Homo-oligomer: A and B are copies of this chain.
């Protein structure tokens, strides 16, 4: 489609091909895949129109035939990642199914560390996001609750998983832009934090750090959090 002017539009409502004119050299999936490849390898900030175009092997401005704004490129990326969600036949135990949903989402985000940063309710209605949402609702069929409650459960679980993975990956992703290593960054921050705690102004934090001397078990923390969210919605 042409529509060169600035017009409110959802990328999913725009047809990929209109029949008139030369056939496009790439599909939307090609473009999303190229952007995802770059983001996976070099981080989200490396996803520029120029880079994606170069990865595809076309001129920068040709991209704008497929994607009216960079924002829409992000939307394609999120949907492409959502396509990796594996859906299964719900087994009747909604708690088990939700656990599986949470774990799978976490794995997806660890595979694509840029995903948490792009998560937005605005992108929540892309084709694959809709499939995913419908699947979650199907998993929740055995739960006796209003759809409103079920949607709140899904939102809370998804939000928790996103926040969790983001925190887990944040330093690693952030440090890409920095001229020093993640270890150096952590070391210098820990040294500062140690100094603050030693100042005596934060007795409870000091006690907390005394208590948990060893490295924290991320898996266990995640599993506990999932269980807590699920419990919060279980009847009784």
Contacts and interface: CB of A to CB of B under 8 A. Distances in A.
A151 B171 CA distance: 19
Interface residues of A, number: 68
Contacts of A122: 170-171, 174, 189
B174 A120 contact: yes
Main secondary structure of the interface of A (DSSP, over half): helix
A205 interface: yes
A152 B225 contact: yes
Interface string A125-159: 10000100110011001000011101110011001
B189 A148 contact: no
Interface string A208-236: 10011000100001001100110111000
Contacts of A148: 208, 211-212, 216
Nearest to A174: B122
Contacts of A178: 6, 69, 71
Given A208-B148, A232-B232, A192 B13 contact: yes
Given A159-B160, A204-B137, A125 B189 contact: yes
A170 B117 CA distance: 13
Contacts of A89: none
A202 B147 CA distance: 13
A155 B164 CA distance: 9
A162 interface: yes
Closest 5 CB pairs between A and B?
A: A147-B208, A6-B179, A159-B163, A137-B204, A228-B232
15 contacts: A8-B184, A13-B191, A13-B192, A71-B174, A121-B167, A130-B196, A134-B205, A138-B204, A146-B211, A147-B208, A159-B160, A228-B229, A228-B232, A229-B232, A232-B232
Given A10-B192, A71-B174, A134-B203, 19 more contacts: A6-B180, A8-B185, A8-B188, A13-B191, A13-B195, A71-B178, A120-B167, A120-B170, A121-B167, A125-B193, A133-B202, A134-B202, A148-B212, A156-B160, A159-B163, A160-B160, A162-B163, A163-B163, A232-B232
